[in-house]
Amino acid sequence: MITKMALSDITDSAAPKASLLMVSHMIEASPRLVSIDWLAAAQTWQESKSLNLLKRHYAVSDEDFEFMDKNSLSINDPTQALLLNTIQQFKEYAEGQRKSFVLPLELSLGTEFQQRVWAALQEIPYGETISYAQLAANIGQPTAYRAVANANGKNPFSIVIPCHRVIASDGRLGGYTGGIDKKQYLLALEKETCRL
């Protein structure tokens, strides 16, 4: 089965220059997102950090990936329709009109522990932040904050699973796989939207 992907800018001109690479795949006759990854302005989709992991997990090769321009996606193809829906939801988020995402996610790339962390991330309210220690406590393992931080960094769904809402206990932003500038932008966007 061909794994389809599309690239979309979700942010306005004030945002850091980057795009999101969205990858969808038919799993048990149902299209699901398997990855949403930040790409820097100069990166190509072939340089996505998630591609090698996807190739191993789904036993696919480079030839199994089909990159599609977002303007050529068709609503009549279920996998392409999912990509279009994802792009629309990101646009709404960037415009401050959406606070959560309703998308079919395939989480099987993660271990059981990682999936628990990712589920807890989705419980963090829009516009709020918590610490890694609080996230560890939220999953019932208060001493596992390092493991939680590691699972947070392996989140395959940037923004949709809001790992950007987790910061260090001392208030520093900590890390973010998309880059600190993206994390700052996302937190500022959500804070500003909450003020309106």
Which residues does the annotation mark as catalytic?
Answer: 163
Helix (H) or strand (E) holding 187: helix 180-195
| Residue whose token pair is 């796989």 | 177
Residue keyed to tokens 């993206």: 182
**Residue 161 DSSP code:** S
User: Cα dist. 145→124, 135, 140 in Å?
Assistant: 16, 7, 11
CB 149 within 8 A of CB 132: yes
